[in-house]
Amino acid sequence: MEKARPASLASSDTVRVTNPSGSSPFVLTCDHASNFLPAGFGTLGLAAEDLSRHIAWDPGALPVALRMAQALDATLVETRISRLVIDCNRPLDAPDLVPPVSETTAIPGNTGLTEKQRAERVALSWQPFHSAIEHIVEDRLARGQETRLVSVHSFTPVYKGYTRPWHIGIIHDEDRRLASPLISALKRLAGITVGVNEPYSPADRVYFTLERHARSRGLPCAMIEIRNDEIAGETGQRKWADLLTGIFSNLEPVEAKGSRQRAMGKSVQSAS
């Protein structure tokens, strides 16, 4: 499990931005980067081993995203508190924003919360994460810097008894400008099974960060899901980071007729 950080985390410490002045057109996010629980939350009533499971974070996703950011000279925005406290990749009205159950595991510390307690969690982690992305994107656009958003996640090989065959999945909505060339590049690789809107799709409410910060502005975006047994160790993390870096180094959005207009027509989702 990730090494514990100081219990006195302030909001400014619950999100980390790496390479904020990156020259790459890509801005990476890692929405479930950490399994850390500040001291005031205890273990949320869970056994210690549960906090290393996928229910608490996306194992392996952050090392991949960090290596990609370094190689691409890209900006990376990561969460530093477990999604068990609050899921930063969910809208504020989502029933699983503070999940009472994750997969099949009940989270005792997330039941019966008052509105004040929920608001404190929003202020602790959700708001700083989205404010950081907002600031970075707005600053880049003000400078006229090309900006494309990509979120990096991982998923479990088996979910509720169902075996997932994909090594990597690319999630997208109707705007396929980034997803189409990315999927094509991955499918050309031998021995790689690529999921298209698998194991999740935007219909599963997993596309919020990209909807809020990219789709609302007409920016190309895509979501990467890597099966977490592929990136459980340093060798696999390096393999996938280098593979994706090679693809992203030459990746150019494919303009789909009307996709930009549709994206620009969406309003930024409310933060209240």
pLDDT band at 2 (very low <50, low <70, confident <90, very high): very low
Mutual orientation of helices 234-249 and 179-187 as an angle, nearest 10°? Answer: 120
Least confident of 114-123, 134-143, 203-212, 254-263: 254-263
Task: Please check whether residue 133 lies inside any domain of the structure.
Answer: yes
Task: Please check whether residue 151 lies inside any domain of the structure.
Answer: yes
Q: In the prediction, which pLDDT does 13 show? A: 83
pLDDT band at 11 (very low <50, low <70, confident <90, very high): low
* pLDDT, mean of residues 197-219: 96
How many structural domains compose the chain?
1
Task: Please check whether residue 175 lies inside any domain of the structure.
Answer: yes
Task: Please check whether residue 71 lies inside any domain of the structure.
Answer: yes
Task: Please check whether residue 3 lies inside any domain of the structure.
Answer: no
Alpha-carbon Rg for the chain in angstroms: 18
Express each pLDDT in 46-94 by its tens digit: 999 999 999 999 999 999 999 999 999 999 999 999 999 999 999 999 9
DSSP conformation letters of 161-227: TEEP--SEEEE--S--TTHHHHHHHHHTSTT--EEES-S--GGGT--HHHHHHTGGGT--EEEEEEE
Asked if residue 243 has pLDDT above 60, the reply is yes
Which is more confident, 135 or 13? 135
Express each pLDDT in 166-192 by its tens digit: 999 999 999 999 999 999 999 999 999
* pLDDT, mean of residues 6-31: 83
Task: Please check whether residue 235 lies inside any domain of the structure.
Answer: yes
* pLDDT, mean of residues 112-117: 96
Domain of 146, in residue numbers: 15-249
Instruction: Supply the pTM of this predicted model.
Output: 0.90
CATH classification of the domain holding 153: 3.40.630.40
